[in-house]
């Protein structure tokens, strides 16, 4: 009887873990299938240029102000904190402009921009796609002979990659400008000194790697959002769940991808 009781408790413990493992493997397989279909759609006509421009406006133009304001304050905080701790440890903050500029270009501009886009663009795409699935608009596309991945996913994916690269470039420029102004007004280091320090620390490949990160993050956001949108349950609760899950999954994917890309880029120095 004791053995039967132990076996029963073990089964109750292992059963949820087994279901979780099988569910995770099933989700992974479904995502790989969706990813493969999406990649195949990139070379499949037609190309909906009007939809691409519409999505580019939504992703880049409508997100520009929010991103620039956010990265400005992030850059200023980075500069002030770096100066404070360098003065505290080595009583000298002359290296702060170079370190801050390097951090802004290699990490801050791309990652902060991507995470803000996840919360705005990723959530919007997931909610839109899942609503279309719930109201059977995606089924209507199939009945009309239109591939929903070609019509819905491809324009959003291309617009997100292109728009994120533009936003990361703009964020880097504005971040550097704000950091230079703070360095001049609060740290007593004029713009010429800031630019000279930045020139010693930053190479062209740093700018290139930042844009590559932007393109990779811009690829992740819509494909994760569309995947959860296409797979949502046919209910209002399903729409909310798909939106929330897509934001969490895309945020984790961006942080993980940032580590992988940063590790790979170290081999180019």
Domain that holds residue 260: 50-268
What's the rounded Cα separation, in Å, for the pair 114 and 148? 25
Would you say residue 191 has pLDDT above 70? yes
Q: What is the pTM of this model?
A: 0.87
Determine what percent of the chain is predicted with pLDDT higher than 90. 42
Could you report the per-residue pLDDT of 12-68, keeping only the tens digit for each?
656 676 676 777 778 888 888 888 888 988 888 888 889 999 999 999 999 999 999
Q: Does 158 map to a domain? A: yes
Q: Does 36 map to a domain? A: no
Could you report the per-residue pLDDT of 58-94, keeping only the tens digit for each?
999 999 999 999 998 888 888 888 777 777 777 766 7
Q: Does 215 map to a domain? A: yes
DSSP 151-191: IIIHHHHHHHHHHHHHHHHHHHHHHHHHHHHHHHHTS---H
Q: Does 39 map to a domain? A: no
| Number of compact structural domains in the chain | 1
pLDDT recorded at residue 186: 77
Confidence of residue 4 (pLDDT cuts 50, 70, 90): very low
Could you report the per-residue pLDDT of 135-182, keeping only the tens digit for each?
888 888 888 888 889 889 999 999 999 999 999 999 999 988 888 888
Would you say residue 225 has pLDDT above 50? yes
Q: Does 32 map to a domain? A: no
Q: Does 58 map to a domain? A: yes
Q: Does 45 map to a domain? A: no
């Amino acid at each position: 009887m004791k053995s039967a009781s132990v076996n029963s408790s073990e089964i109750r413990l292992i059963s949820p873990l087994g279901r979780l493992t099988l569910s995770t493997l099933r989700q992974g397989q479904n995502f790989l299938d969706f990813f493969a279909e999406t990649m195949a759609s990139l070379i499949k006509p037609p190309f909906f240029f009007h939809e691409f421009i519409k999505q580019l406006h939504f992703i880049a133009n409508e997100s520009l102000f929010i991103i620039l304001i956010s990265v400005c304050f992030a850059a200023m905080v980075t500069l002030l904190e770096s100066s404070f701790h360098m003065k505290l440890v080595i009583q000298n903050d002359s290296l702060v402009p170079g370190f801050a500029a390097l951090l802004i270009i290699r990490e801050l501009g791309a990652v902060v921009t991507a995470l803000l886009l996840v919360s705005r663009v990723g959530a919007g795409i997931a909610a839109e796609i899942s609503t279309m699935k719930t109201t059977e608009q995606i089924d209507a596309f199939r009945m009309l002979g239109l591939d929903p991945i070609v019509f819905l996913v491809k324009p959003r994916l291309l617009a997100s990659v292109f728009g994120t690269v533009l936003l990361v470039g703009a964020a880097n420029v504005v971040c550097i400008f704000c950091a230079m102004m703070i360095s001049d007004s609060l740290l007593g280091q004029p713009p010429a000194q800031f630019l000279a320090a930045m020139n010693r620390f930053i190479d062209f490949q740093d700018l290139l790697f930042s844009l590559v990160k932007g393109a990779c993050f811009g690829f992740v956001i819509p494909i994760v959002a569309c995947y959860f949108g296409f797979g949502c349950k046919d209910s209002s609760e399903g729409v909310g769940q798909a939106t929330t899950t897509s934001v969490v999954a895309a945020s984790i994917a961006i942080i993980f991808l940032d580590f992988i890309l940063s590790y790979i880029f170290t081999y180019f120095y």
